[in-house]
Amino acid sequence: MPINKSIFREYDIRGIYNKELNEQSVKLIGYHLGQKIGKGKAVSIGYDARSHSPVLRDYLTSGLNAAGCTVLDMGMVATPVNYFSNYQKIEDLNPKTPHSSLLTPHLEASPDTSIMITGSHNPSEYNGFKITLDKTPFFGEDIYTLGDAIIADQARIVPDDTEKIDIDVKTPYINFMIKEFSHLKGLDKKIVIDCGNGVADTVITDIFDALQFNYTGLYCEPDGTFPNHHPDPSVEKNLADVKAALKKEGDIAFAYDGDADRIAVLTHKHNIKGDQMALLYAMKMENPTVIGEVKCSQVMYDELERRGAKAIMYKTGHSNLKVKMKETNADLACEVSGHIFFKNRYFGYDDAIYATLRMLELIAEGIDLDKEIEALPTVYSTEELNVETTEEEKFAIIDKVKELLINPPADFPVIKSIIDVDGVRINFDKGWGLVRASNTTPVLVTRFESTDETLAKEYEEKVNQLIESAKVLL
């Protein structure tokens, strides 16, 4: 079966198990990635709760072994636990098996690469690979180049070789969190968590139990069929059960996506979005540098600057934000969808479990979350709105929209400025509109915001008209 080039995406490799991600394609991904990593290098692998994740682990291991890498297996973990392995000495991960002597040259170093096998919040038939090489996301052109090499070499036969060394990353991760947040022990709040049958509870209840939290856990058992609801906390309908539990018996609630790198924070009054979370977290940082994606509210950028912080607008995507954080030495980054990245007191990657504990820390310090949210300027914002298109046309439409904005229609709202770091964000007198091409699906993503509800609808209407004109001109 020919390998489908579409599995090689901007931020990761992703496809349907046994169709696009099968024995042939995944072994070759392991082999060619291993060639890139280098012979003799140590690669740590973790996987999510999907039933086919261990199968893909074995295929990937065969490919890496064929390239001469040493494979370290951390088993079922959350994505942030996988990332955590990049910052630990291998000797502290308790490597076991008779073959651990292979690691002697590596023991005082961290793994050279980590690979997380996860479909994140996608339906259960999907899976994929999030790759970190030398503590840096492996994405964009690197993934596309890897894909080209694999497709050119797809006749190669990679033999079965599942030799690997078991490591324990969960224990040092749990211990780190217990130590870092020991001051929260016995916190007098009733907490509700919804793990969505993802992998958050490969560690989270161990941490909560050690810190003697009073909590109720929903759907904590990892189950890759996601029998209770889809594990995407950015979709309102998926929060129905955790909201009901919060109303009945909680003070604060948290929900997680399938691999626990995204978070939803819920009070009795608010579903706190990622850009609002960033404002809350930044309150306890001294003059921080904070990075937001192009979909973040202007309120976040303005409020951060008003408080003396440095605010940077950048591209959407967890890989993009991690790289920009490293480049700018930023303290914090966020996406509206609930990816929260801490460099302040942490390692600079998105970790929903760590973000939970930092939010509980704010509450313990007397921050009234509802009061802080309600003190922000009132704006009217749409959710992310998708415009259907094709993979072939989506970026061409954005280019055509940029051309049309040079001389916009006479009835188009007055443009103050245009930001084109990722698609087009058009700043108007009392708000903004965004059009960008999704890097993962064949859609244009739009979002609109204004201090005036009528104007927000007008911005949406006029920008959508511009998109339709752009389509016609292609």
Whole-angstrom Cα distance, residue 319 to residue 339? 11
Q: Under 8 Å CB-to-CB from 41, ≥6 apart: which residues?
A: 69, 70, 112, 113
Q: Which helix (H) or strand (E) holds 217?
A: strand 214-218
Helix 23-37 vs helix 141-152: angle between axes, to the nearest 10 degrees? 120
- Residue 56 tokens, joined: 């893909």
**Rounded CA separation 313/275 (Å):** 12
| Contacting residues for 128 by C-beta, under 8 A, at least 6 apart | 7, 12, 13, 14, 15, 21, 117, 118, 119, 120, 122
* Cβ(294)–Cβ(423) below 8 Å: yes
Would you list the DSSP string of 405-420? HHS--TTSPPEEEEE-
Give the separation between CA 172 and CA 182, rounded to whole angstroms.
15
Judge contact between 45 and 73, C-beta under 8 A. yes
How far apart, in whole angstroms, are the C-alpha atoms of residue 188 and residue 185?
Answer: 9
Pairing of strands 70-76, 42-47: parallel
Residue 451 burial by Cβ neighbours in a 10 Å radius (0-12, 13-18, 19+): middle
Using alpha carbons, select from 71, 67, 49, 62 the residue that is nearest to residue 22: 62
Residue 6 structure tokens: 């579409």
d(CA 297, CA 256): 22
Catalytic residue among 120, 124, 297, 381: 120
- Following DSSP, what letter does each residue of 144-196 receive, concatenated? HHHHHHHHHTTTPPPPP----EE---HHHHHHHHHHHTGGGTT-SSEEEEE-T
Is 417 labeled as catalytic in the residue annotation?
A: no
| Residues marked as catalytic | 120
